[in-house]
Structure 1
Amino acid sequence: MYHYQETISQKTSGPGLYEITDKVQAACRASGMQTGLLTLFIQHTSASLTIQENADPDVQTDLTQAVARLAPADPTLYRHTAEGPDDMPAHIKSALTDVSLSIPVQNGRAALGVWQGIYIFEHRAQTHTRRVLVHLLGD
Structure 2
Amino acid sequence: MYIKPIVLLTKTYNEMDVITPQVEQIVKESGIQNGMVTVLTKHTTTGITVNEALECLESDIALFLQRQAPEDAPYSHARMLRDYGSTAGNPTGHLKAYLTGNHCHFPLVEGEMIRGGAQDIYFCEFDGPAKRTILVMIQE
Scaled by the length of structure 2, the TM-score of the pair is 0.87
Contact 1:16 1:61 in 2 (8 A): no
Query: Could you say which residue in structure 2 is the equivalent of 1:63?
Result: 61
Deviations 1:8-37 (A, max 9, x none): 112222212101101100110011011110
Residue number in structure 1 paired with 2:125: 122
Q: Which residues of structure 1 form unaligned runs of 5+?
A: none
Q: C-alpha displacement at 1:4, in angstroms? A: 0.6
Q: CA separation in 2, counterparts of 1:12 and 1:19?
A: 12
3-state DSSP class of the match of 2:115? Answer: coil
Distance in 2 of aligned mates of 1:40 and 1:121: 12
| Residue from 80, 83, 87 that aligns with 2:88 | 83
Give me the whole-angstrom Cα distance separating, in 2, the residues matched to 1:60 and 1:16.
Answer: 9
Q: Which runs of 5+ in 2 are unaligned?
A: 79-86
Is 2:61 the counterpart of 1:47?
A: no
Matched residue type, 2:123: I
Counterpart code for 2:23:
V
Asked if 1:103 corresponds to 2:106, the answer is yes
Root-mean-square deviation (Å) = 1.3
| d(CA) in 1 for partners of 2:110, 2:132 | 28
Question: 1:10, 1:129 within 8 Å by CA — same for their partners in 2?
Answer: yes
Q: Give the C-alpha shift of residue 77 in structure 1.
A: 0.9
Greater strand fraction, Structure 1 or Structure 2: 1
Once the two structures are overlaid, the 10-residue window that deviates more, 6-15 or 41-50, is: 6-15
Matched, 1:27 2:26: yes
Secondary structure at the counterpart of residue 13 of structure 1: coil
SS at match of 1:115: coil
Count residues in correspondence: 131
Distance 2:109 2:16 in 1: 25
Runs of 4+, deviation exceeding 2 Å = none
Give me the whole-angstrom Cα distance separating, in 1, the residues matched to 2:101 and 2:57: 17
Distance across 2 between alignment mates of 1:133 and 1:112? 19
Q: Which amino acid aligns with 2:75?
A: Y
